[in-house]
Every structure is written in structure tokens, then in C-alpha cells.
Amino acid sequence: MGAIALSPVGRMTRFYEATIGKKAVMAVTGVVLFGYVVGHMLGNLQIFLGPAQLNRYAELLHSAPALLWAVRLLLLAAVGLHVTASLQLWWLRRQARPVRYQKKDDVGGNYASRTMMWSGPILAAFVVFHVLHLTTGGVPGLPMEAGNVYNNVVRGFLHPAVSLAYIVAVSMLMLHMYHGLWSMFQTVGASHPRYTPLLKSLAKIVAVVLLLGYISIPVAVMAGILTPQ
């Protein structure tokens, strides 16, 4: 009997059912999310150019609602697929080794990989808070002035608890980013004794640069460099 021809959807489903398929989905969605993280940081850093520049940038983003919502839906889909594939891979690993080794060498592992599961929900909670704070204005005690993104950001970060939560959340995100970049290299087969140290260092440098870029804003606010206008 000849092989039954599968439809494109059937082939994609069969590919995803394999471990490599789930890893590929994590890699592709990871690239999408990485691009957003970089772009978001570059946009945020315009706060150092003054209120007028940041507010113009925010106005530009909201000048095309259809495009803005398309990007939001793409990001939401990427997050959903990324989390789903991650949980499924974790469950497969757990089923393959239901009894943990008494001595865990953690070959190739590190703090970032060990915290991927529990830091995810914390990041999700912070994203909800961040949206309520700067998009909907739904956080009591943190008033939002329509059209004045600069003041909304600065006044929010004047609260030590908000700045601390932001710094902690971004630090967790960069741990995710470091491990995600490194895992992506491995998924596409870029694992070689000669290049492995370089790729690991590159992933670490990217994560550190992003971390410094993001936390520079609350630090500048708390230090009095950025003030309400």
C-alpha cells in the first residue's frame, strides 16, 4: 500500500508532533519576540531625547490602529505558541525521566535554564501590570495623562516599588533571552566545540546590553536625571 499523501496542514501537524517541531516553533516565535524586545527598547530609550520626542513616537505608533492591532495579535500568537511548545517540551522531558537523578550535573544547564518555567508566570503578571499602568491607566495611585507618555513613565518610576518590579522583571526577561538565544543556536544545529563558547558569549552580551538599555530608564528617574515636565 502506498503512503497516504498528507495535506500541508497534516504535514505541519505531524512535524509539530515531533520534538524537533516544537523546538522549531520555539525558535521562530523566539525570533519574533526578540525583535519586539529590541524594537521596544529602542523606542523606550527615546525618553532621553525629551518629552516631545517620546510623545511624538507614541503618537506615531497609535496613528495606524489597524497595524498596531495586527502587531499586537502577532505578538499574542507568538507568546501563546512559545509558551505552549515550552510546556509540551517540559512535559515530554518529565515523562522521559520521571525519576530525577540523585546527582544532577546540569550539563549545558545554568541558572537561566533552571528558572525558565517559574519566571514565565512572573513575567506574564508584570506585563499585565505594565499594560494597565501605561496603556489603560488602570493602576490605582498611578494616574495616566492621555497623550503624555513621558510624564506617565517618569511619574510611574518615581515609585520605588514600580521601579524595583520593573528591574526584577526585565532581569528575568534577559535570563530568558540569554537562554533562548543559546537554545535557538542549538536548535538550528549551530553547536560546535569551536563556535560554542563564542555563541554563548554573544548571547550573554546581547542579553546584558538589552538589560542595561531597559533598566537605564527607571535608574535615571530614581537618580533625578529624568523628571516630570
Could you read off the pLDDT of 76-112 as tens digits, one per residue?
Answer: 999 888 888 888 887 887 787 655 544 444 433 444 4
DSSP per-residue codes, 31-73? HHHHHHHHHHHHHHGGGGG-HHHHHHHHHHHTT-HHHHHHHHH
pTM above 0.85, yes or no: no
Per DSSP, the residues of 135-194 read II--STT----TT-HHHHHHHHHTSHHHHHHHHHHHHHHHHHHHHHHHHHHHHTT---TT
Low-confidence ranges of the chain (pLDDT < 50): 1-2, 101-112
Q: Residue 156 and residue 150: Cα distance in Å, rounded?
A: 10
Residue ranges per structural domain of the chain: 8-100+113-222
Q: Is the dihedral of CA 118, 219, 139, 133 positive or negative?
A: negative
Report pLDDT digits (tens) over 110-138.
Answer: 444 556 666 677 778 888 888 888 888 77
CATH code, 8-100+113-222: 1.20.1300
Question: 43, 40, 68, 42: which is closest to 57 by C-alpha?
Answer: 43
Closest CA to 165 of 210, 112, 222: 222
Hey, how many other C-beta atoms are within 10 angstroms of the C-beta on 113?
Answer: 17
CA distances from 110 to 40, 88, 175, 229 (A): 27, 21, 10, 44
